[in-house]
Chains A and B, each alone.
Chain A
């Protein structure tokens, strides 16, 4: 009788262990691969130099990250088809205007596809980006062809994605998706060294 009780207790304990393992596994998976990836990526970029890049703005002028040496920079990847980007952009405009005097700049980088081989389509695509810039009254530089420089930044699985660069050119924070104006402001302050 006593042996049987012990036997069932051991089996129950083992089953409980299996259930616990399953639950822990489920919870870990349900956090989603994007979140896990984003966190790892964020941890991976901290303190590293921001990958250098040069892109054109809508007028064809070449703009480099190196042009902003000594400034804190927010590199904001977005696209015209990205509805959450349209929510975030007015916050960026306000924060850029608020912190510009302290040496802060936003570089908006459009990830919209560009048909370089089709001048008519390319023109229409540029016009679409320009329409977004006008509608949002964006005062900071907006660069195009963001996909071409996205790999050193880990690729663009989601938009908006932003990277925060300190005055020494090092990455200090990252953000995937829209969170809140307050969270972005916190990361801007970190980039400014406040």
Chain B
């Protein structure tokens, strides 16, 4: 009795494991090969909603995370050609960006060129955005523009949406 039950459980678990394995393999096979298949290098974490006094500049800490193994240029990269990380809010959203304070970058060098130092963000970083909201509920779509690299290659510059529900009271 117990043996039959055991065999049934084993068969079910084997089927589940087979499905898990197949899913893993097929997800790799289904990738389109190149363009568009890579996830964003930077993810906006929080806050999703803030309540601010209307008409007064208020500082909001915007939290972001750079994907493991990648880095992005800080707001003040050391080379003229490098693209700085910048945050902006489009006009007409009922919320105005009065200014932003960016964290200092950490020093970084590529393993193939350890002498050349760059200023980058890795892991989590916080931008202190000074914003002014009018009275009301505003679904703001801020923009973070950045350019990400890993140790031996770089991705083209990208802009992600930073969605925040801003309530001006």
Contact = CB atoms under 8 A, between A and B. Distances in A.
Contacts of B81: 80-81, 128, 131-132
B35 A36 contact: no
Contacts of A59: none
A111 interface: yes
Nearest to A160: B153
B154 A87 contact: no
Interface stretch (B20-28, B56-64, B97-105, B121-129): B20-28
Question: Looking at chain B, what size class is its interface with the partner chain?
Answer: 35 or more
A84 interface: yes
Contacts of A20: 17
Nearest to A153: B34
Interface in A72-94: 79-87
B24 A29 contact: yes
Interface residues of A, number: 55
Contacts of A82: 149, 153-154
Grouping DSSP codes into helix (H, G, I), strand (E, B) and loop, the A interface class, with mixed when no group exceeds half, is helix
A83 B10 contact: no
B157 interface: yes
A53 B139 CA distance: 44
Contacts of A3: 1-3
A41 B14 contact: no
Interface stretch (B42-50, B87-95, B110-118, B160-168): B110-118
Contacts, number: 147
A17 interface: yes
Interface in B8-34: 9-10, 13-14, 16-18, 20-21, 23-25, 27-28, 31-34
Interface string B73-93: 000000101110000000000
A162 to B, nearest CB: 11
A158 B28 contact: no
A41 B33 contact: yes
Contacts of B27: 29
Given A87-B112, A155-B35, A24 B21 contact: yes
Given A6-B3, A25-B24, A33-B31, 9 more contacts: A13-B10, A14-B17, A25-B21, A37-B37, A38-B34, A79-B156, A151-B35, A157-B38, A178-B153
5 contacts: A6-B3, A20-B17, A28-B28, A37-B31, A160-B153
